[in-house]
């Protein structure tokens, strides 16, 4: 009989995610997906257009990303359930992506980030110090 101490805790994270250090942490999993370069830009492109699909080439033009990078990020967003992919049997091939309800919920997050960025400046504040009666600044 196994003791309670010898059992490992269950995890809802696939083993590949566990190796990335996000096992058991939903926020860590979310940040691992959203924190990749260009992912938030891609998702932001879909904001304000619920249910509207965007073609791969239109995303590429809007975001000025290489096809390889964009394809990789879109694949991750589809795998994470933020987007759905629609492929059409046409020549030239046409592929469109559409936001899911999960992606549309991020609209609230983008609204909060937009409000915060309007109130706050990301540049370091100018520092002025007085040394021996002489004013010095870091600019």
Q: What does the pLDDT profile of the chain (139 residues) look like in tens digits?
A: 444 444 444 333 343 444 455 556 888 888 899 999 999 999 999 997 777 999 999 999 999 999 999 999 999 999 999 999 999 999 988 999 999 999 999 989 999 988 998 998 888 777 777 776 665 555 5
34 Cβ partners below 8 Å, 6+ apart?
A: 40, 43
pLDDT at 40: 95
CATH topology of domain 39-113: Arc Repressor Mutant, subunit A (1.10.10)
Q: How many helices (H) and strands (E) does the chain have?
A: 6, 5
pLDDT at 43: 95
Q: What are 54's strand-pairing partners?
A: 97
Domains in the chain: boundaries: 39-113
Q: How many Å is the Cα radius of gyration of the chain?
A: 22
Q: Counting every residue, how long is the chain?
A: 139
Supply the pTM of this predicted model: 0.69
DSSP class of 47: T
Contact indicator for 12, 28 with CB cutoff of 8 Å? no
């Amino acid at each position: 009989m196994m003791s309670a101490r010898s059992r490992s805790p269950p995890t809802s994270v696939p083993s590949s995610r566990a190796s990335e250090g996000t096992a058991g942490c939903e926020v860590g999993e979310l940040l691992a997906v959203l924190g990749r370069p260009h992912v938030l830009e891609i998702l932001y492109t879909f904001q304000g257009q619920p249910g509207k699909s965007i073609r791969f080439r239109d995303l590429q033009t809007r975001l000025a990303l290489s096809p390889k990078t964009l394809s990789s990020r879109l694949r991750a967003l589809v795998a994470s359930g933020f987007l759905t992919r629609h492929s059409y049997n046409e020549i030239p091939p046409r592929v469109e992506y559409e936001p899911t309800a999960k992606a549309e919920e991020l609209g609230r997050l983008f609204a909060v980030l937009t409000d915060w960025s309007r109130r706050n400046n990301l540049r370091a504040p100018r520092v002025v110090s007085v040394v021996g009666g002489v004013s010095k600044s870091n600019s």
